[in-house]
């Protein structure tokens, strides 16, 4: 049975060119980038080239790129670092009810243990944040606003340019978790008024365990760990040279392919949505009908539960999820779906399908066929049990 991978929002396969570049570093470039002899200079050169590639992909200056261990650390550095840097002036943090746990849990931890004043803004039924609600939540003590660029579960793209403009007018630092959008959407930090932007390599065919935080020049961010002073003291610790190189190559490839690959994936996404609506009675599309990630199709299917759907589809040869991979083991409905005002029982039947570079139309059609059979079987079993 051919396996079909349809969970690219959780992680993506490492691109062969990325793997080859990392393998060369691991076998040929063993120096410490902080060392001044030849081996160290070679490693530093590789890190610098990767920094240039990451910066070019979002139109940033290389000096504004801070390498991290991934999106979670980038989010933590943005939130904790900003509040620590400005704690004598402002202690307020505003975010939304649909953020990734790396943001919302960090925000709640800052409220609980650091005395931060936390404001959580709701969303509409499509998961869209109203910029005016953000404006209303900002006061004279607000230090930071954090709104994701697009939601990882339901795919809705947020109006971060408008929100960033409000933050700039109010003198508030603006952070956006762009883990799902970097590589898929055009992002120009000179056009979007964002001060901090989180990036994660394994969401666009790079390695796991490496990411970056864009820090606009002049933005105050305190370091969260002490040590050797790497990354200009903003993220100290010996650089993961091979991982950083993989991140840089992955971003360059994504940038080169985006103009053709994102529209292709959008067509496959729409094929999934149309097929599920036609073949699965009662299926509800989650998220905005048009303003959504190119690869994301999210549903709630009445009369089923997410875990049973995933297991049954896995046996059919399809890898899908019920939402964020970071919380896939939880039995409670997603906080994101509940924030949309969705009924709790319906929310338990969530299913996320995310296509990728290797996905074909025939695979999508096979998936829809399998899903229709699985849902019919699960509903029949549930009816018999009652």
Res. 141: pLDDT tops 60: yes
Q: 250: number of CA atoms within 13 Å, CB side?
A: 30
Active-site annotation holds for 326: yes
CATH code of residue 360: 3.90.1150.10
Q: What mean pLDDT comes out for the span 322-334? A: 64
State the pLDDT at residue 333. Answer: 85
Residue 200 sits in the same domain as residue 291: no
Residue 240 sits in the same domain as residue 193: yes
Residue 170 sits in the same domain as residue 268: no
Residue 272 sits in the same domain as residue 158: no
- Mean pLDDT, the chain, rounded, equals 95
Residue 61 sits in the same domain as residue 180: yes
Q: State both tokens at 25.
A: 């570093």
Res. 169: pLDDT tops 60: yes
Boundary (domain end) residue, out of 222, 253, 284: 253
Residue 72 to residue 264: CA distance in whole angstroms: 29
Res. 377: pLDDT tops 90: yes
Residue 260 to residue 27: CA distance in whole angstroms: 34
CATH code of residue 25: 3.40.640.10
Residue 151 sits in the same domain as residue 289: no
Residue 103 to residue 195: CA distance in whole angstroms: 16
User: What percent of the chain lies above the pLDDT cut of 90?
Assistant: 91
Boundary (domain end) residue, out of 227, 253, 279: 253
Q: What mean pLDDT comes out for the span 117-144? A: 98
Active-site residue identified among 326, 338, 346, 376 = 326
State the pLDDT at residue 320. Answer: 98
Residue 92 sits in the same domain as residue 140: yes
Res. 329: pLDDT tops 80: no
Q: State both tokens at 196.
A: 């901090």
Residue 85 to residue 110: CA distance in whole angstroms: 14
Boundary (domain end) residue, out of 236, 253, 270: 253
C-beta atoms surrounding 372 within 10 Å? 17
Res. 197: pLDDT tops 90: yes
Residue 233 sits in the same domain as residue 371: no
Reported as a pLDDT band with limits 50, 70 and 90, residue 386 is low
State the pLDDT at residue 87. Answer: 87
Residue 44 sits in the same domain as residue 119: yes
Alpha helices in 29-144 (DSSP H): 38-58, 71-85, 101-114, 131-137
Q: Find the domain containing 173 and state its range.
A: 16-253
Reported as a pLDDT band with limits 50, 70 and 90, residue 325 is low
State the total domains in the chain: 2
Res. 385: pLDDT tops 90: no
């Amino acid at each position: 049975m051919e396996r079909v991978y349809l969970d690219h929002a959780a992680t993506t396969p490492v691109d062969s060119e990325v793997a080859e570049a990392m393998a060369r570093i691991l076998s040929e470039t063993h120096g410490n980038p902080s060392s001044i002899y030849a081996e160290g200079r070679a490693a530093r050169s590789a890190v610098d080239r990767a920094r240039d590639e990451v910066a070019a992909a979002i139109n940033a200056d290389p000096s504004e790129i801070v390498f991290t261990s991934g999106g979670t650390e980038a989010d933590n550095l943005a939130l904790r670092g900003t509040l620590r840097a400005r704690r004598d002036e402002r202690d307020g943090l505003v975010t939304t009810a649909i953020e990734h746990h790396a943001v919302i849990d960090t925000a709640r931890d800052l409220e609980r243990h650091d005395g931060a004043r936390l404001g959580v803004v709701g969303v509409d039924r499509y998961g869209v944040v109203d910029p005016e609600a953000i404006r209303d939540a900002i006061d004279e003590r607000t230090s930071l606003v954090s709104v994701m660029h697009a939601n990882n579960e339901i795919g809705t793209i947020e109006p971060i340019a408008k929100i960033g403009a409000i933050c700039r007018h109010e003198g508030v630092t603006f952070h956006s978790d762009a883990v799902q959008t970097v590589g898929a959407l055009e992002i120009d930090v000179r056009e979007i008024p964002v001060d901090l932007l989180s990036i994660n390599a394994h969401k666009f065919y790079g390695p796991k365990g490496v990411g970056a935080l864009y820090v606009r020049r002049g933005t105050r961010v305190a370091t969260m760990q002490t040590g050797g002073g790497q990354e200009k003291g903003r993220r100290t610790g010996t650089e993961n040279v091979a991982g950083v190189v993989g991140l840089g190559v992955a971003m360059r490839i994504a940038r080169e392919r985006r103009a053709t690959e994102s529209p292709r994936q959008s067509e496959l996404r729409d094929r999934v949505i149309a097929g599920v609506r036609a073949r699965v009675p009662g299926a509800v599309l989650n998220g905005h009908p048009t303003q959504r990630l190119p690869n994301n199709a999210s549903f709630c299917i009445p009369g089923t539960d997410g875990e049973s759907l995933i297991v049954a589809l896995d046996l059919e040869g399809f890898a899908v999820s019920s939402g964020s991979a970071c919380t896939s083991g939880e039995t409670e409905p997603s906080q994101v779906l509940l924030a949309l005002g969705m009924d709790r029982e319906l929310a338990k039947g969530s299913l996320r399908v995310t296509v990728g570079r290797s996905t074909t139309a025939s695979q999508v059609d096979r998936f829809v066929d399998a899903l229709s059979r699985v849902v019919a079987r699960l509903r029949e079993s549930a009816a018999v049990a009652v």
